[in-house]
Amino acid sequence: MKIANTEQAAAWDGHEGEVWTEHADRYESSSRRHWQRFLDADLIAPTAAVLDVGCGTGKSTRDVARVASRGSALGVDLSASMLGRAREQSDAAGLTNVTFVQGDAQVHPFDAEAFDTAISSFGAMFFGDPVAAFTNIGRGLRPGGRLALLAWRELSRNEWLVELRAALAMGRQLPEPPPDAPTPFSLADPDRVRRILGDAGYADVGFEPVDEPLEFGSDVDDAFAFVKTIGIVEGLSHDLNDDDKAEALANVEKMLAAHETADGVLLGTSAWLITARKS
């Protein structure tokens, strides 16, 4: 397997991928409103051959395979453990038009012009060279083929991250992720995205806001049990001493309590549904 994004591969084909796999149901449930907005956009034809980039444990791949019932869906991801769960779930669902492959979509040798649509649900923000990555994905698309991505907008618009960072700061000045690095916000700026996709051979780039809440749990105890496991909490509390870490986690629990509603513990988000066509 050829890898260009070595740091991402080390994380996702290691600890982060294992944690995500263990809590896959929770991650999928937390962002279900965003994914439903994607499905409601009616971007997948019944006969489409679909490429799912950064497919993780494969819920998005399975769902588009059901839509493309007379087509197919191929999920690609860096994580062996996540793909193992994806295959198990697809087999259990009896889906016969789904396959998965472990690979780095920036350099994976996709069959030329094999796909009608390439999608990603919060999985396309982490390429070290996004122009090269989207060019490579585009080689797999037929002329006029569609690209559709869910990606986070800027940090300041995402209450869930702003509030988690504040709860975990403990007097530290936390750096903001650079907008042009492989971070969750690398596709937040429409002008930058237009340049990247234009240079990669796409046209008709469009942006639709997807501002839906993340659901962290049914109540505070349920949400806190889950949130303690997510990467940002682990990462921002890793260097704290035991007392400060305990206080930081208590801050997180209080923050979650402030967002408890009759529909669960909800925090606001802001994302883009980015669409384009291969020129």
pLDDT tens-place string over residues 252-276: 999 999 999 999 999 999 999 999 9
Which element (helix H / strand E) includes 91? Answer: helix 80-93
Beta-strand pair 141-152/271-278: antiparallel
**DSSP characters over 214-261:** EEEESSHHHHHHHHTTSHHHHHHHTTS-HHHHHHHHHHHHHHHHHTEE
Interval 131-158 mean pLDDT: 97
User: Between residues 4 and 203, which one has the greater pLDDT?
Assistant: 203
Read off the DSSP letter of residue 169: -
Interval 30-47 mean pLDDT: 97
Query: Each residue of 122-145: b (16+ CB within 10 Å) or e?
Result: bbbbbbeebbebbbbbbbbbeeeb
Distance CA 27, CA 251 (A): 22
Query: Each residue of 61-71: b (16+ CB within 10 Å) or e?
Result: bbbbbebbeeb
pLDDT tens-place string over residues 89-129: 999 999 999 999 999 999 999 999 999 999 999 999 999 99
CB 110 within 8 A of CB 51: yes
Residue 97, both tokens: 């038009």
Average pLDDT, the chain: 96
CB atoms within 10 A of CB 36: 13
Band of pLDDT at residue 175, cut at 50, 70 and 90: confident
pLDDT tens-place string over residues 177-221: 887 889 999 999 999 999 999 999 999 999 999 999 999 999 999
Q: What is the pLDDT of residue 68?
A: 98
Distance CA 274, CA 26 (A): 25
Q: What is the pLDDT of residue 200?
A: 98
Which one, of 159, 251, 273, lies nearest residue 206 by Cα?
A: 273
Distance CA 233, CA 104 (A): 26
Interval 24-31 mean pLDDT: 94
Q: What is the pLDDT of residue 266?
A: 98
Residue ranges of domains in the chain, CATH in brackets: 6-154+177-215+271-278 (3.40.50.150)
